[in-house]
Structure 1
Amino acid sequence: MVVAALVRGANTAIGETVVRVQVAWGTGSEVDPCALLLDAGGKVRSDADFVFYNEPSGAAGAVELSTDGQCAATIAVDLGRLPSDVDKVVIAGSMDAGTFDTVPGLKVTVTGQHGHELASFPVLDVERVAAVVFGELYRRGGGWKFRAVGQGWDSGIYEVSDPEYVAAVLTGAMRKARRTAVIPAQRDSRSVPAAVRTEVWQRDGGACVECQATEYLEFDHVIPWSRGGATSAGNLQLLCRGCNLKKGARI
C-alpha cells in the first residue's frame, strides 16, 4: 500500500471508515492536541464539538482523544458514526507555554483501523505561534479526505482567510481556556503534564470532588506543592475555583 507523504496544503483520499490521527513531537515540549467538529458552514454546532483533554470524547464516542506517553496523542475518528451534519474534523493543538517554532519533531500520521499507515505529514517551518491546525478530515464526493494544514494563530489571528473557520477554532480555544486549570506564569514542577491531566479528569468524572460542579475547574494538589506534594495523578484532584479557594494551602 502506498503511503501519502504530504506537504502543507496537500490532501489524500481516505478509503477507510475508522482512522487514527497521531500528533507526535520531540522531548522538551508540551503540546495539547484537540479536535473540532465543524458543519458544512465551517461552524461548531455547540461546545460539545470541541474534543480535548478535559472532554476527550465527542459525537457520542465517534471521536476519541487519547495520550500516547509524554510526546504524542491520538485522535481516533469513526467516520461512519459521525453525524451527517458534521462535514469536517479539524485536528489542532496548543501550548500553555512556548511556541511551536521551538517544538522539535512535529509530525502527523494517519493510520487505518488495523494500524497500517495511510498518510504522513512532517509539520515543518511553523511560525512563532501558540496554536496550530495540523490537518483536517473532510467530506468530499461521498467519501473522506485528509488535508495537511500546518498553520497556526496567535493572539487571536489565524493565518487562513476563512472567517467561519477562524470563528470555530477560536470558539474551541476560548472554551478550553475557561475550563482548564490556572496555568502558572512560569513553567515548573507544578505544571501538570497532559497525560496526567487526562487521567485525573477521567477519574474524577469531570467534576469537582467536593461539590460536583462542572464549571471553573482547577487541578489541585492534595498535598500542596509548597509542602512537597508531587505533581502526580495520586496527588491531584479536580476542584472548582470556589472549593479550591476555601481549601487554600490546607492538606
Structure 2
Amino acid sequence: MDSDSVNISSGCNPTNGLPTAVETIVLVEKGHIQNATQYCPTPFLDSFNYSFNDGSSTFCDGTSMWDVCSDRTQMVVNYTLCSTKQFYSNGGVAYCVYSTFVDSNYYVTVVNADSTVDFSTTFRFTCYAVTTSGGYVLASDNKGACVQDQTPQNKSATGTGTLTFSSYGKCTGSVASPESSSINIVLIAGIVVGVLGLSAVVAAVVGVVLCKKKSKVRIQSREIGSEHLG
C-alpha cells in the first residue's frame, strides 16, 4: 500500500464522517486479478480515440486508441500511438473490477495488469469518474480509489488528468455477464446444493439408524412376549 496517499489515522477517525458512495476501496487477492473482472460500464464499452489533459497540456489528440471491445472486461491502450501512461500502467492493460452509478456519473475501479508495480510511477488501482456529454465520454482518474469531490470534467488533486473519448467503433454482439461471473455463480450455487445434498444424506442416515433402532426394539419386544407365553 502507498503510505504517502493513505492516512489510516485520519481515514478511521469517526469525526470525518462515513465514506460516500463513490469512495470505494476494492481489494483483489494477489494472483487472481482475472477472476475478479466484470464488464466495464456502458460508457466505456467502445473503441475510442482519446485526448488526455494533465491540467496544463493536451496529449494523444488524434493519434490514440483505447479499446474495450475486444474484451469487455479489459481496457487496452496503444502506447505505440501515444506513449502517455494511462491507469498508472507500463503495459497499457487494465481490468474493470467494480463500478457504481451516483448522481449521473459512473465511478469505475480498474486494476493494472502489470506483473509488478512500484507505487511511485505505477500503481495497482485507478478509479475513473465517467459521464457522457455531447456524443463524447468524459473521465477523470484518481490513483487507488475515487475521492468524494471527483468529477469527470475536472482533474483530481491526486489524479493525472482528464480524458475525452471519441468513439470510432461500437461494440457489437450481446452484452451478457462475463464468463468468470457465471463460473462464480455456478460455484456458489454448487456449494449451496452441496450443503443441501449433504443435509439430505445426513437426514437419510439418521432415518436409517432410527428405523434400525425401532426394528430392534420391536424384535426384542416380540422375543420377550414369546418367552412369557412359553
Q: TM-score w.r.t. structure 2 length?
A: 0.28
Q: Larger helix proportion, structure 1 or 2?
A: 2
The two structures have a TM-score, normalised by structure 1, of 0.26
Between structures 1 and 2, the one with greater strand share: 1
- Largest Rg, 1 or 2: 2
Q: Which has the higher contact order (CA 8 A, sep 6+)?
A: 1
